[in-house]
Amino acid sequence: MEPLWQRESFWRKAAVFVTAGMAVVLLLLTFDSMAKSAVGKGRVPSFAVINQEIDYRFDAGRNMRVPVVAGEQPLFGKRLSEAEAEAMVSHGKKTVQAKNCMDCHTLLGNGAYYAPDLTKAWLDPQWEGMQTLTATDSREAALAAFLEHPSHYPTQERSMPELKITAEEARAVVAFLKWMSAIDTNGFPANFDPHAEEK
Amino acid sequence: MAAFDTSRLNGGQKLAIKYFTVAIVLFGAQLLFGMVAGLQYLQPDLLHQAVPFSITRIVHINAMVVWLLYGFLGAVYWLLEEESGWPVVGLALGNLAFFVLTVAVGVVVVVYLLIQIGPGNDFTRWLITEGREYIEAPRWADIGIVVCSLIFFYNVAATFLKGRFSGISGVLTLDLIALAGLYLAGMFYTVNISHDQYWWWWVIHLWVEATWEVLVGCILAWGLMHVLGTRRQIVTTWLYVEVVLMLGSGILGLGHHYFWIGMPEYWLKIGGFFSALEPIPLVAMVVHSVYDSGEHHLRNTNHPAFAWFIAHTMGNFFGAGVWGFMQTLPQINLYTHGTQWTASHGHVAFWGAYVTIVVPMVYIALQKGRGNVWMGSGLAGAWRWKWALGLQALGTVGMAMCLLIAGYVQSFTERAMGGSTWEAYFHAQTQPWFTQAMHWRMAFGTIFCLGFLLLAWDLVVIGVGERRPAEALPARRAEAVPA
């Protein structure tokens, strides 16, 4: 008689039980993760967060930087209801998908590596300087102007192509980026500090 | 002359040849667009507006995913009748699915290249692009893929039910259910990007790091019996062991993709721990392949196929296992995720784990189609397959090392020092070590392409002038499928 660990029948049963067991654990964790990452449940902000100022500060308890929602700062100067904000963010996300943004950029670190990560793009110090270049007076206006006509504002040899993004789509993408920047990403991307230049 | 004669093949094998043919053509397309995408790093003006990097990359990776799937489908149709002892059930439907799928793939690629993008609405998602990395195919194509998968599953499951089930076919059939079912996880829209990415990884990770690995385990098990004469009981037991280790680590190893997408912090521990275990089945595979090759004194019926199988065990271990392990712990991944480290891992893993399983199955198919001819030592023109394999291995390892160096520059300059800002990103992209690595990547990409051209040439001519019959394995090793 072969020892247990050499028996085909033992490993067949083990394959079934291990696979089923792991699948059950994954399902249980999925239920929990879905609940904890639902919109407005803490880790992922409500859409109306685009009406507010978003900051990114170091949390000593968690030893990482986390989004901090501060005072009023309506996007493009207009306060939206939760439903209006959701519609705008959704339009932005559909635009991001329709222009294949993820095949040059990364979102939450996933995508291609040909262009910068967009996870905290809204908070990036880049948009301070871009206000001068685009002759605009706000972060959102600079972002929208750039998205509409990226070839008008080249800052690098590797530049963004014209993607026929309309004015409305550009504003929606900005809303999506602002909302995404308030997601708690466990400290990703590494060492990102929107206040680095101030220091 | 041993011309290719399909009358020597059973129905499933004739269909397999169609899948293999399209697979090799798409392999070429993958390399063409990969080279253009690589050049765009060096010459950003190249096709900047006409075919931007996003499009060349989509075609590069989509062509790879589709040709590997075609290779897997071909491999399964190839072994289906021999393994089940029964003609493929619903073969006409299987043939129809092949043509429908191929036309659909052609239409999707033409739309990718000529239309590229659309307005930010549902029309674009349904008809042009879904814009989600790797599964950009528009929704209509998703539905077509699911229908064709169901037909494929029907062919496989019904044939085994009519004929006989074995350990390999049992694992294969269950794996195909998971393979088709998981694709559904990528077929819905949600505005919540964190949920979007959560389910997207069910398709990407649970395909590539779970169901695909099990599928190639089944193909490898059958292949080793075929070319090496390994006993069925040994390969079947090992297949079960591999399922235990692969799915035991890989299902929760999914968590290493959940570190930074807005999911709870416990994924840092779960994902880190289980994904760190993922290389274990690959180590086991290497150990056993070395043992088995020695046990059989490397005597086998098909030298090119066997050499590619060896490349598979090594490539899967180093590419998927070691290169994945390098950056799977969250403490490291925080600095490497979304950099060229991932591209390095991707290149060596996909070649090492998957290309190296499809190519030997094509060699096995060609051997039979050309009259079960000799493909052992002294084969005329054997230099071609040896150089094809060698150049591809060299090209892959070279590209992986270059991309790894580029990734290191990013981790250090962009993440650790620069604080991951846009300015830091471009600062890293213009560092001499980064740009030099990208130049060398193109050189190794060119070497890989030469390896592909040699492979394509070899597939056309190998065994054509051969008159000797294939080497017979010792009878005691040839074992029938249990009834």
Collapse the DSSP code of A93 into the 3-class scheme (helix H, G, I; strand E, B; otherwise coil) and give the result. helix
**Is A93 found in the same domain as A24?**
no
Q: How far is A72 from chain B (nearest CA, A)?
A: 23
DSSP-derived secondary structure letter, B106: H
For residue B420, give the nearest of A90, A99, A190 by CB distance. Answer: A190
**Is A86 found in the same domain as A66?**
yes
Q: What is the pLDDT, as a whole number, of residue B210?
A: 86
Sort out which chain B residues have CB atoms less than 8 A from A187's CB and list them: 260, 334
Cross-chain Cβ contact B420/A191 below 8 Å: yes
- Residue B185 near residue B46, CB atoms below 8 Å: no
Give a yes or no: residue A99 inside a domain.
yes
Cross-chain Cβ contact A96/B265 below 8 Å: no
**Is A21 found in the same domain as A55?**
no
pTM: 0.95
Q: What is the pLDDT, as a whole number, of residue B2?
A: 63
Question: Is the predicted pLDDT of residue B43 greater than 60, yes or no?
Answer: yes
Question: Is the predicted pLDDT of residue B332 greater than 70, yes or no?
Answer: yes
- Residue A51 near residue A73, CB atoms below 8 Å: yes
| CA diameter of chain B | 67
Collapse the DSSP code of A55 into the 3-class scheme (helix H, G, I; strand E, B; otherwise coil) and give the result. strand
Q: Provide, rounded to the nearest whole percent, the portion of chain B with pLDDT above 90.
A: 83
Cross-chain Cβ contact A99/B429 below 8 Å: no
Residues 6+ apart with CB under 8 A from A98: B117, B118, B119, B120, B121, B124, B125, B128, B129, B131
For residue A192, give the nearest of B118, B254, B421 by CB distance. Answer: B421
Least confident of A28-32, A167-171, B124-128, B213-217: B213-217
Q: Which runs of E-coded beta strand occur in B183-270?
A: none
Q: What is the pLDDT, as a whole number, of residue B374?
A: 93
Give a yes or no: residue A42 inside a domain.
no
**Is A99 found in the same domain as A9?**
no
**Residue ranges of A 31-70 with Cβ closer than 8 A to chain B:** 32-34, 36-39, 43-44, 47, 62
Q: How far is B374 from chain A (nearest CA, A)?
A: 34
Sort out which chain B residues have CB atoms less than 8 A from A174's CB and list them: none
B55, B240, B242, B248 from B33: Cα distances, Å: 9, 38, 34, 36
Give a yes or no: residue A191 inside a domain.
no
Sort out which chain B residues have CB atoms less than 8 A from A122's CB and list them: none
**Among A6, A22, A122, A18, CA closest to A73:** A122
Instruction: Supply the range of the domain harboring residue A69.
Output: 47-181
A156 in B contact zone (CB under 8 Å)? yes
Cross-chain Cβ contact B44/A159 below 8 Å: yes
Q: How far is B466 from chain A (nearest CA, A)?
A: 40
Look at the block and give the residue holding tokens 């009878």. Answer: B475
Distance CA(A126)–CA(A130), nearest Å, equals 6
| Average pLDDT estimate for B396-404 | 98
Cross-chain Cβ contact B120/A112 below 8 Å: no
| Average pLDDT estimate for B452-463 | 97
**Is A136 found in the same domain as A77?**
yes
**Total domains present in chain A:** 2
Collapse the DSSP code of B270 into the 3-class scheme (helix H, G, I; strand E, B; otherwise coil) and give the result. helix
Give a yes or no: residue A16 inside a domain.
yes
Give a yes or no: residue A28 inside a domain.
yes
B232 in A contact zone (CB under 8 Å)? no
DSSP-derived secondary structure letter, A44: B
**Among B257, B185, B195, B267, CA closest to A34:** B195
Give a yes or no: residue A157 inside a domain.
yes
- Count of pairs with CB atoms under 8 A, one residue in A, one in B: 250
**Is A149 found in the same domain as A68?**
yes
Q: How far is A145 from chain B (nearest CA, A)?
A: 17
Surface-to-core class of residue B342, CB atoms within 10 Å of its CB (0-12 exposed, 13-18 middle, 19+ buried): buried
The tokens describing B253, both together, are: 């190893």
**Is A77 found in the same domain as A17?**
no
For residue A103, give the nearest of B133, B189, B264 by CB distance. Answer: B133
Residue type, A197: E
Sort out which chain B residues have CB atoms less than 8 A from A12's CB and list them: 167, 240
The tokens describing B153, both together, are: 């599953």
| Average pLDDT estimate for B45-56 | 96
| Average pLDDT estimate for B1-10 | 82
Tell me the pLDDT tens digit for each residue of B114-156.
999 999 999 999 999 999 999 999 999 999 999 999 999 999 9
Helix axes B232-253, B193-206, angle to 10 degrees: 170
Cross-chain Cβ contact A126/B423 below 8 Å: yes
A185 in B contact zone (CB under 8 Å)? yes
- CATH code for the domain of A81: 1.10.760
B118 in A contact zone (CB under 8 Å)? yes
- Residue A33 near residue B258, CB atoms below 8 Å: yes
**Is A53 found in the same domain as A16?**
no
A27 in B contact zone (CB under 8 Å)? no
DSSP-derived secondary structure letter, B231: -
The H or E element that residue A71 is part of is strand A64-72
B431 in A contact zone (CB under 8 Å)? no
**Is A24 found in the same domain as A91?**
no
Q: Please list the residues that pair with A110 across neighbouring strands.
A: A107
Q: Which runs of E-coded beta strand occur in B201-271?
A: none
Main-chain dihedrals φ then ψ at residue B339, nearest 5 degrees: -120, -175
